[in-house]
Amino acid sequence: MILVTGGAGFIGSNFVLDWLAQTGEPVVNLDKLTYAGNLGNLKSIRNDERHHFVKGDICDTAQVTALLTIHQPRAIVHFAAESHVDRSIHSPGSFITTNVNGTFSLLEAARAYWSGLGAASRDAFRFLHVSTDEVYGSLGADDAPFSENTPYAPNSPYSASKAGADHLVRAYHHTYGLPTLTTNCSNNYGPYHFPEKLIPLMITNAFAGKSLPIYGDGQQVRDWLYVGDHCTAIRRVLDDGRPGATYNIGGWNEKANLDVVHILCDMLDELASREDNKSYRTQIAYVTDRPGHDRRYAIDARKIERELGWKPAETFGSGIRKTVQWYLENQQWVRDIQSGDYLKWLDQNYSGRERVSA
């Protein structure tokens, strides 16, 4: 079996569902259930004996050690993190606690467990750390995309905390020989995406008749990766990645934010038009920019293709259509998470930012 951390969040829950469907191998899922963790994402496997959910904190080394001792996993896949850049600007402390200290605690527990395994199990064990392209900083319009050799230059408290975690993982391989794997992926999108992030926020605000807030001039560029493709890539890395190596995972889909929002509006106009037949584009509103906003991210994903034969199956067009359809069919899921806390966040992040033009 494998131990997954953060498996009630967006990517983690997609991974657990995909893992059970594709491999059938049991999973222990350790998640603190912060505002971003949602057992509703795992409803379809609530009676599945192959899935063992544990509410807990990766910072709690004793709890992690007990789980490792009891379940004897052959791998740890580490998703648990504070993941939203805007929240890291408002309150960075929890990002350091979970992303840096939590990864350190987890590595310590993993090292102790791994050291005690027999030779064959030690050789086979893997610690896969899921990270982000944001650790590489911001690109100019004509710069080459991030490769695995691009120097780290994180710009937000979020990306700095992920960079710290990446360095610890690297050090545990070099110093102790722990068989680690690190993946740095671009912006994911797809089902179960918490609606504080760009794509689900725009879809859910559009339905609710709210404004669609574009930071700054909307010309910041991100690479977009469909979450199902990300899950496939992680499985490939876990199976055949070289211990100690890092792999960049991207969708080959660079898009400016404003273009993403236009595509979403046009798709919503087609699939769920407004009662007044006006385009959802009329709801777009420019707001003051995010402090320190990175201008462009782009991923060179040739290494994982060359070494492990992985490349994304979805285009942006096919992935975004699946995503919009999922949100149309799962409006109750959205209503269930739009709690008091979520509304408080919207107020904290967006009030007073609206501007008249770009």
Binding mask 311-350 for ligand TYD (x = CB under 6 A): ----------------------------------------
Q: Are 16 and 7 in contact (CB under 8 A)?
A: yes
Using CB under 6 A, count the residues that bind ligand NAD.
Answer: 31
Of the candidates 1, 33, 66, 285, which one interacts with ligand NAD according to CB under 6 A?
33
29 has which bridge partners?
4, 53
The answer to whether 198 contacts ligand TYD (rule: CB under 6 A) is yes
The answer to whether 187 contacts ligand TYD (rule: CB under 6 A) is yes
User: What whole-number distance in Å separates Cα of residue 242 and Cα of residue 330?
Assistant: 39
Residue 6 or 218: the one with the smaller Cβ distance to ligand NAD is 6
- Given the residues 31, 57, 82, 134, the one annotated as active site: 134
SS3 152: coil
Q: Are 54 and 6 in contact (CB under 8 A)?
A: no
Residue 87 binds which entry of ligand TYD, ligand NAD, none, with Cβ cut-offs from 5 to 8 Å by kind? none
User: What whole-number distance in Å separates Cα of residue 311 and Cα of residue 302?
Assistant: 9
The CA-CA-CA angle for residues 203, 265, 321, to 5°, reads 70
> Starting at the edge strand that comes first in sequence, how are the strands of the sheet with 51-55 ordered?
51-55, 27-31, 2-5, 75-78, 126-132, 180-185, 246-249
Identity of the residue numbered 168:
L
Residue 215 binds which entry of ligand NAD, ligand TYD, none, with Cβ cut-offs from 5 to 8 Å by kind? ligand TYD
49: its two tokens: 């004996």
Neighbour-count burial for 161-187, b at 16+ CB within 10 Å, e otherwise: bbbbbbebbeebbeeeebbbbbbbbbb
Of the candidates 76, 128, 130, 238, which one interacts with ligand NAD according to CB under 6 A?
130
214 has which bridge partners?
286
The answer to whether 214 contacts ligand TYD (rule: CB under 6 A) is yes
Which part of the chain contacts ligand TYD (CB under 6 A), choosing from 5-13, 137-145, 162-170, 193-201? Answer: 193-201
Of the candidates 8, 17, 42, 199, which one interacts with ligand NAD according to CB under 6 A?
8
- Given the residues 31, 82, 133, 254, the one annotated as active site: 133
Picking from 222, 225, 355, the residue whose alpha carbon sits closest to that of residue 294 is 222
Cβ of residue 37: shortest distance to ligand NAD, in angstroms? 3
Residue 169 or 206: the one with the smaller Cβ distance to ligand NAD is 169
Identity of the residue numbered 49:
E
The answer to whether 79 contacts ligand NAD (rule: CB under 6 A) is yes
The answer to whether 162 contacts ligand NAD (rule: CB under 6 A) is yes
Cβ of residue 123: shortest distance to ligand NAD, in angstroms? 26
The answer to whether 59 contacts ligand NAD (rule: CB under 6 A) is yes
Q: Give the footprint of ligand TYD on residues 20-59 (CB under 6 A).
A: none
Of the candidates 184, 220, 246, 323, which one interacts with ligand TYD according to CB under 6 A?
220
Q: Which residues are catalytic?
A: 133-134, 158
